[in-house]
Structure 1
Amino acid sequence: MSEENITRIEQDGKEFILIGTAHVSKTSAEQVKTVIENEQPDAVCIELDKQRYQSIVEGNRWKDMDIFKVIKEKKASLLLMNLAISSFQKRMAKQFGIEAGQEMIQGINSAKENNAHLVLADRNIQITFARIWGGVGFKGKMMLLGQVFAGIFTKETITEEDLEKMKSQDSIQSILNEFTESFPRLKKPLIDERDQYLAQKIKQAPGEKIVAVLGAAHVPGITKEIKKDHDLKALTKVPPKSKVPKIIGWSIPILIIALIGFTFLNNPAAGWQQMLSWLLWNGTFSALGVAIGLGHPLAILTAFVAAPITSLNPLIAAGWFAGFVQAFVKRPHVSDFERLSEDVFSVKGFWKNKATRVLLIVVLANLGSTLGTIIAGTDVLRLFINNI
């Protein structure tokens, strides 16, 4: 049996066999099957968390998604990003005529066939994203979203040579490669911390012989980290939200209201002009975001009316209201959720599918409202200074 892409480690009376794979490689899947059959391990560790494992084994999981609950729990952006990354992997897999994550599916099946204990060894993807998201500011968040979607919706095909290069990268890292060069500190939550988490889970796997199916990017790190002990609780702790955004979030509305109030006292006409500017800039840009998302006219109107109000209250957002109206008027059907796996292949599919369109409307309405707040706030300040 070829030992290519296989790393063997003996430690504390256990043998660990690490298989470095590409997440869309047919050869990797075949190698996983061969290694598990030949080695007959006590346990098989796979680079999946519970959420992604369920996504693989439950093909109809989208049927049960409550779009209203997603909006209410403020998970629209996260879900949209998860779908976008899934789109990237599925597009590559389709090009090469295989299933995305086929090597993980093979690991699951081979573990069952060979009576090995299956270990879900990766950290929850939402925790990883939360730790990434907390590491960048507003500009970084916009760049991150742009990088993800730019990498996903490119029309370029992927060559066999590119696929081989991806064997040295994590599936998420492959999309965020350029972004991590701009923000080197993201390597810690994206790769380094997961190396530590994976290494500890592999060490704790039951039995004396353990096979681990991993993206090849993690193998060097795990080889080093498996010699150490790591605190899984610390690695899964979501960083506390900074108080700064909350302070800024409440300071801006208070400042805007104060500026308009003072202007009204000195020059009522200028005060009315400030109010009009606030209403029009906020409402127009938020409504424009919904229109770009091909929202229903009622959703566009809702964004226009809600944005000037929600911009003065950090606890609510225009996108929520626009999203609720869109979901109510153009309620996604079971068929929309069933088609998600196909529709996320393209930009057109994201806009065409009623479920993803609701998510887009929530995100775009909020982005529009944020931009409108910046422009309107600047104009309110200008009018205040002019009338001092």
Structure 2
Amino acid sequence: MGEIRIVGTAHVSQKSVEEVQSAIDEWQPDVVAIELDQGRYLGLKQQQKNPEIEDILEAKNFTQLLIQWILAYIQRRIGMDVGVEPGAEMKAAIAAAEERQVKIALIDRDIRMTLHRFWASMSIFEKLKMFYALIGSIAIADKTGDVIDIEELKKENVVEAAMEEFYRYSPRGAKALIGERDAYMSHNLIRLASTNERVLAVVGAGHRKGIEQFLKNPELLPPIDSLTSQMKTRPWGLIFGIIVTVVFALLLLAIVFSGVGTEILLEALVYWVLIHGVLTFIFTIIAGGHWISGLVGCVVSPLSSLHPLIAAGWFSAIAEAKIRKPKGSDIRKIMEAESITEMRKIPLFKVVLVAALANVGASIGTFAYFIFIFPILGIDPNVVLGQGFENMWTAITNLFSFS
């Protein structure tokens, strides 16, 4: 078994760039193992093939794409503040290895698998907390003039505190984003060390301790297959959709059997359409979407809110894509944007944002409807529901008694 040496870096640190170059020169490893997957490696080398827009729309991973882009933006903003391009230390490792004709190994898990497992593993509460944290992080990243001491953040006690806080804040998300990748990269480093005398690993400072623990205790490593399999997502969306459909149907039946009249029933149906349609339209416009995309979401939203497998945002996104005509090259523009305002002008970002916010509008519409429908209709819910369900039960009892 060969020797493994780890360099813990910050992805926006000039000192990390210098440390990587020095480690390669001084230690002269047989292979340089880098915290990258094939996609991110090609991205750094600017050799990544632009994806087909149709594939992005068909995948419908709009929320995961937004998270990936926003995290990259926050990192890029910090890099601009300290004058270092994100991933510069990885580029330095690649360049130094190529110059010295040292083998390069990509040891990180595919980013798409990581994001899938990250999103699928988190509870609804964790996801809500994450969105709140991302919004706050964007606001901080957009501030100018703040001095950020990256080297202070790299200190072991600071890194450990940050990791502990992450695990407290979102234990499942942290496991997928940090713990599982520590294990995955450890597997690859052990494999490399079995055929090479000296392996230099260049990884983020947050991964160093976890990898070192796995290398000291390889028996603790989970099977590699368990780190690369698709996770079964919790069907909360399906369950919520079924509940909404059942509650809406029971509400209409209660109104019918309560005897308040068909006029109230029709008003309840009209308000279902109006509340969902208007909120979906408004949120589409907030996202910067075209009014036609908003209109499509407006029409589809009342129906999609009753169907657990269909989302209004998908239809708004398709309409937006037809209008904006995004290109695969938009992804690079998004990754190079220097502000959220600049990102919002890029067609592909606008399409994905429209999809996400249109769905938010439809979801708010569902909650708003059940909260405000009775005051809007001007009827007492206790009377309508009580009398309606009582009459419904009597009708069902009489039907079975007659049969």
1:113 and 2:92 are equivalent in the alignment = no
Partner residue in 2 for 1:102: 88
| Change in 2 beyond 3 A, CA 1:93/1:244 | closer
AA in 2 matched with 1:32: V
- 1:308 to partner: Cα distance: 0.6
Which of 182, 188, 192 in structure 2 is aligned with 1:195? 182
Distance 1:254 1:182 in 2: 34
The alpha carbon displacement at 1:333 in A equals: 5.2
Report the Cα distance in structure 1 between the residues aligned to 2:137 and 2:295, rounded to whole angstroms: 32
What is the distance in 1 between the residues matched to 2:59 and 2:356?
A: 14
| Structure 2 CA distance for partners of 1:76 and 1:51, relative to 1, 3 Å | same
Deviation at 1:160, TM superposition (A): 4.3
Structure 2 vs 1, CA of residues 352 and 163 (structure 1 numbering), >3 Å: closer, same or farther? farther
Q: 1:322-345 CA deviation, whole Å, 9 max, x = no partner? A: 1111111122357755532332x2
Q: Which residue in 1 is equivalent to 2:396?
A: none
Q: Distance in 2 between matches of 1:246 and 1:258?
A: 18
For the pair 1:347 / 2:347, whether they are aligned, the reply is: no
Q: 2:4 matched to which residue of 1?
A: 16
Q: Does 1:78 align with 2:71?
A: no
1:313 aligns with 2:307: yes
CA-CA distance at 1:233 after TM superposition: 0.9
Report if aligned partners of 1:318, 1:365 keep a CA contact under 8 Å in 2. yes
CA offsets 1:78-104 (integer angstroms, 9 cap, x no match): 112111111112112222332210111
- Residues 213-228 of structure 1 correspond to what in structure 2 (within 5 A)? 213-227=202-216, 228=218
Distance 1:294 1:177, change over 3 A: farther
Per-residue CA distance 1:258-313 (angstroms, 9 max, x = gap): 42244235432221122122112211221111011121110111111111111111
Which shows bigger deviation, 141-150 or 331-340? Answer: 331-340
What SS does the aligned partner of 2:196 have? coil
Question: Which residue of structure 2 aligns with residue 89 of structure 1?
Answer: 75
- Of stretches 374-383 and 268-277 in structure 1, the one that deviates more from structure 2 is 374-383
**Distance in 2 between residues matched to 1:169 and 1:235, nearest whole Å:** 28
How much has 1:16 moved relative to structure 2? 0.7
Amino acid at match of 1:77: T
8 Å contact from structure 1 (residues 167, 215) kept in 2: no
Q: What is residue 39 of structure 1 aligned with on the other side? A: 27
Report the Cα distance in structure 2 between the residues aligned to 1:189 and 1:170, rounded to whole angstroms. Answer: 21
Give the secondary-structure state (helix, strand or coil) at the position aligned to 2:33: strand
Structure 1 residue identity aligned to 2:153: K
Native 8 Å contact 1:260 1:380 kept in 2: no
Asked if 1:156 corresponds to 2:143, the answer is yes
1:134-169 alpha-carbon deviations (Å, 9 max, x no partner): 343333322212312321342334524255315659
Q: CA deviation at 1:252?
A: 2.0
| Cα separation, 2, equivalents of 1:170 and 1:268 | 65
Query: Structure 1 pair 338/226, CA: closer, same or farther in 2 (3 Å)?
Result: closer
Task: Report if the CA contact (8 A) 1:24-1:98 is conserved.
Answer: yes
Superposed counterparts of 1:172-183, under 5 Å: 180-183=167-170
Aligned pair partner of 1:125 in 100, 103, 111? 111
Shift of 1:46: 0.7
> Within the alignment, does 1:365 sit opposite 2:358 as a pair?
yes
Distance 1:184 1:336 in 2: 33
Q: Number of aligned pairs?
A: 371
TM-score by length of 2: 0.83
Q: What is the deviation of 1:235?
A: 1.7
Residue aligned with 2:149, SS? helix
Show the counterpart of 1:5. none
In 1, Cα distance between the equivalents of 2:293 and 2:164? 36
Secondary structure of the residue aligned to 1:226 is: helix
Deviates more, 1:128-137 or 1:318-327: 128-137
1:139 to 125, 135, 138: 125
SS at match of 1:98: coil
Partner Cα separation in structure 2 for residue 347 and residue 151 of structure 1: 12
Give the equivalent residue in structure 1 for 2:394: none
TM-score (normalised: structure 1): 0.86
| Distance of 1:190 and 1:291 partners within structure 2 | 33
Identical pairs, percent = 29
Q: Match for residue 367 of structure 2?
A: 374
> Partners of 1:371 and 1:276 in 2: how far apart?
17
Note closer, same or farther for the CA distance 1:335–1:184 as it changes in structure 2 (3 Å cut).
closer
Which of 14, 22, 27 is equivalent to 1:26? 14
